[in-house]
């Protein structure tokens, strides 16, 4: 059988390769909206100090939608975006699990004879994500100024929240919430910068780094 005949047999219906859209706005908006809600709770907006309403957002917006955006970034060949969106999608899914009573995670600590163990465990969890975020910050240094600022603020947010839990200091936690709000706003801006193209009414700058010199 000739090569042409084999190709015709393998694909009797012509295969059309659709052009992928840009998944970055979905990932950034999903991250920003979920981060904004939790950060408002962290600063005790309207006297709220129980963050469990964020579970739905963390599961389906910050979690699932952002995880899917990461998968689609792999398809576009953007390794940085794919790794970041998938990682933070997984972060939000794992964070939501911590807040779901049926997960049994909180009950396990409640049954422990060591008081405050859960808070310390969450602090270690946040500190680990601070390290991951710092690595993304390093990777963003040649991407755009907006993205670099986003990962810098997010690293600071995780650091403050981790220190707050380690030190049992609510004031530091509120500071982490305030920086988290700033992080969310920068993420919204970067997402809008990716969403708007030359075909739209206007575009916004995200801060391009000067090209490398030889």
Q: Which residue has the higher pLDDT, 130 or 12?
A: 130
- Residue 206 near residue 196, CB atoms below 8 Å: no
Quote the CA–CA distance of 201 and 197 in Å, as a whole number.
9
User: What confidence score (pLDDT) does residue 211 get?
Assistant: 82
Judged against a pLDDT cut of 60, whether residue 209 lies above it is answered with yes
Q: Is residue 13 part of a domain?
A: no
Q: Is residue 190 part of a domain?
A: yes
Alpha helices in 11-104 (DSSP H): 24-42, 54-59, 66-76, 79-99
Quote the CA–CA distance of 61 and 55 in Å, as a whole number.
10
Judged against a pLDDT cut of 70, whether residue 15 lies above it is answered with no
Quote the CA–CA distance of 17 and 121 in Å, as a whole number.
47
Q: Is residue 204 part of a domain?
A: no
Q: Which residue has the higher pLDDT, 117 or 84?
A: 84
Q: Is residue 113 part of a domain?
A: no
Number of domains present in the structure of the chain: 1
Q: Is residue 165 part of a domain?
A: yes
Residue given tokens 């690293």 in the structure block: 155
Q: Is residue 111 part of a domain?
A: no
The pTM of the full predicted model, rounded to 2 decimals, is 0.89
User: What confidence score (pLDDT) does residue 128 get?
Assistant: 98
Judged against a pLDDT cut of 60, whether residue 86 lies above it is answered with yes
pLDDT band for 11, please (50, 70, 90 cuts): low
- Domain limits for position 29: 20-101+118-195
pLDDT band for 214, please (50, 70, 90 cuts): low
Judged against a pLDDT cut of 60, whether residue 4 lies above it is answered with no
Burial class of residue 166 (count of CB atoms within 10 Å of its CB; 0-12, 13-18, 19+): middle
Q: Which residue has the higher pLDDT, 102 or 178?
A: 178
- Residue 63 near residue 96, CB atoms below 8 Å: yes
Q: Is residue 150 part of a domain?
A: yes
User: What confidence score (pLDDT) does residue 3 get?
Assistant: 52
């Amino acid at each position: 059988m000739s090569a042409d005949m084999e190709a015709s047999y393998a694909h009797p219906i012509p295969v059309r390769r659709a052009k992928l859209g840009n998944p970055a706005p979905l990932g950034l908006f999903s991250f920003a909206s979920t981060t904004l809600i939790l950060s408002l709770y962290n600063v005790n907006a309207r006297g709220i100090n129980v963050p469990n309403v964020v579970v739905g957002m963390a599961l389906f917006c910050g979690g699932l939608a952002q995880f899917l955006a990461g998968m689609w970034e792999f398809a576009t060949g953007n390794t940085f975006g794919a790794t970041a969106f998938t990682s933070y999608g997984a972060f939000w899914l794992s964070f939501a699990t911590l807040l779901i009573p049926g997960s049994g995670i909180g009950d396990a600590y409640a049954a422990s004879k060591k008081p405050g163990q859960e808070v310390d465990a969450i602090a270690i969890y946040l500190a680990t994500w601070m390290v991951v975020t710092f690595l993304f910050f390093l990777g963003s240094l040649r991407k755009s100024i907006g993205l670099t600022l986003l990962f810098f603020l997010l690293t600071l947010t995780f650091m403050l929240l981790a220190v707050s839990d380690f030190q049992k200091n609510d004031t530091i936690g509120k500071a982490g919430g305030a920086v988290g709000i700033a992080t969310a706003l920068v993420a919204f801006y970067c997402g809008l910068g990716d969403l708007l193209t030359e075909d739209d009414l206007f575009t916004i700058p995200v801060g391009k780094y000067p090209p490398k010199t030889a």
